[in-house]
Amino acid sequence: MNMNNLIVCKFGGSSLLNSSQFRNVKAIMEAEPGRRVLVPSAPGKGGAEKHKVTDLLLMCYQLASHNLLFDEIFNVVRERFIQIRDELGLAIRIEQELDGVQAAIAGGAGSDFCASRGEYLCGKLLADYLGFRFVDAETVIRIRGGKADVEASSVLIRKKIGADERVVVPGFYGINEKGEFQTFSRGGSDITGAIMAAGMEASVYENWTDVSGFLAADPAIVAHSARIKSITYNELRELSYMGAMVLHEEAIFPVRDLNIPIHIKNTNIPEDVGTLIVSDSMAGEREQVVTGISGKIDYTVVRVEKTHMSEEPSFYRKLLSVFETNDIPIEHMPTSIDTISVVVATALINAKEKKIREEISIYCDPDRIVFEHGLAVIAVVGRGMISTKGTSAMLFTALAENGINVRMISQGSSEMNIIVGVSNEDFENAIRAIHDKFMKG
C-alpha cells in the first residue's frame, strides 16, 4: 500500500441524485484532506427521481438512431442538471454543454458516447461546485478488449494529473484501442474509480454508495444479517453472487495487485464503518470463521456413474468436452470413486437435456446418467476456515437441526469455502440456519 495519503472517491448514482445529495458529497470530500480525486456516476434514480440519467440518454440515442424526435426525453435530462446547478447557486453555464450533447445525439453520435454524457455533465457540475479541476476521462482512461487497460491509463494519469492536485474524473467511459468512445458495462464507474486509484497509487479507494457495505447474507432472506467489516478480495470473488450487487465485479482487478484496499461507504450515513476489501496479506484478525454466505437456486446435477471410471484416463476429458461443445459452463464437479456429478445452471441445459444425455452415452459409455433438477447451491465462505477445526461439523449440524437434506458437498482446495447443494425449497431455510449458527452462536 502506498502511503501518500491520497484517497480516490467514487460516488454512485444514488449518491448524486439531486442537489441535496451533491451537498452531502461535498461535505464528505471536505471532511478529509486526502480526498483529492472524485469519480462520479451519472445522477441515478430514487426519491422524486424516477429514472437514471444513463437510461434517459440511452433512450435518446435509440430514438435518434431511428430518426425519431428525442427532445422530450432530453429535456428531462436538461432540467435535471439545470435544477441541480440552480439549487446549488452555481454560475457554470451548463446549458452550453447540454446543447452540445443534444447536437451530438442529433448528429448521429454512437450509443456509448451518448450513454457517457451523464457522467461527463455530472463531473462538470461537481468540479465547479468543489473547486476541483475537471479532467475528462477521454484523456486518461483507456479500454482494451472491453476491459480496463490499467497500464496505459496509469501512464496517462501520471502524465496529466499532479500528485497533489484535486480533480474530478467522470466514471464509466474512456477511449478504446480503435480511438473510439467506449463505456464499461453498466455500473462501470466503479471500474474507473479503481483505475484512478491504481494510476494515482492511492492509499485507499473509497466507493460511496447507498448501503453501509456488505451483509453476511442476503437481507431479503436473513432479516438481521450481520455486517461484514472486512473481507478479502478472494473471499469476495467466492461470494460474487452477493458482492456484484454492491460493487462491479471488475473493479477489484486494477487495485488488487497493488494492495490498495477498497472501502465501501454509505453517503447517507458516512459515520458507518462500511466494509473494507483487502488482500489476504493485509487482512487483520478475523472476527468470524464464516465471512459470508451466498447462493443461487435452479441448478441441475448431471450424475454420471461408471464402475472404475477413475482408471480410465480419458473419461473426464470426454465427459467435459460434451459440456464444452454445447457451450454449457460447469459450476461445480464433486466426484466419488465411480460417480461424477456435473452441476450446471438449469436454464442453460434445459432445452438440451436429451442431446446431452445421448452424447454422454455415445462418448463415455457410462452405466447410468441421472439428471436431477431443482438444486440450490450455497457457498459458505471464510478465510478463517483453514485454521478452525470443526467448521464443517458446525455447518452440517446447523442443516440437520433444521431438517435440511444435503444433496451435494464440495470444498474448494483453498479451504476458504464449503459449497453445499440443497433442494430449491430448502434454500432460504438453509441460508438462515447457517447464518444463525455462525453469526450468533
Burial environment of residue 338 by CB neighbours within 10 A (0 to 12, 13 to 18, 19 or more): middle
Burial environment of residue 163 by CB neighbours within 10 A (0 to 12, 13 to 18, 19 or more): exposed
Residue 135 or 408: which CB sits closer to ligand ASP? 135
Antiparallel, parallel or unpaired: β 339-345 and 275-278: unpaired
Residue whose C-alpha is closest to residue 10's, from 145, 257, 155, 184: 184
Residue 118 or 199: which CB sits closer to ligand ASP? 118
* Min CB(417)–ligand ASP separation in Å: 29
Positive or negative CA dihedral for 65, 71, 76, 82?
positive
* Min CB(126)–ligand ASP separation in Å: 14
* Min CB(196)–ligand ASP separation in Å: 13
Residue 118 or 213: which CB sits closer to ligand ASP? 118
The residues of the shown chain that bind ligand ASP, judged by CB under 6 A, are 13, 41-42, 52, 54, 118, 171-172, 186-189
* Min CB(183)–ligand ASP separation in Å: 7
Residues in the chain: 441
Residue 105 or 408: which CB sits closer to ligand ASP? 105
Please give the distance of CA 162 from its chain centroid, rounded to a whole number. Answer: 30
* Min CB(98)–ligand ASP separation in Å: 17
Residue 53 or 319: which CB sits closer to ligand ASP? 53
Residue 13 or 174: which CB sits closer to ligand ASP? 13
* Min CB(193)–ligand ASP separation in Å: 9
d(CA 53, CA 16): 11
End-to-end CA distance of the chain: 35
Residue 171 or 421: which CB sits closer to ligand ASP? 171
The answer to whether the beta carbons of residues 133 and 127 sit under 8 Å apart is yes
Residue whose C-alpha is closest to residue 42's, from 63, 61, 18, 26: 18
* Min CB(344)–ligand ASP separation in Å: 29
Q: List residues bridging with 206 in a β-sheet.
A: 9, 263
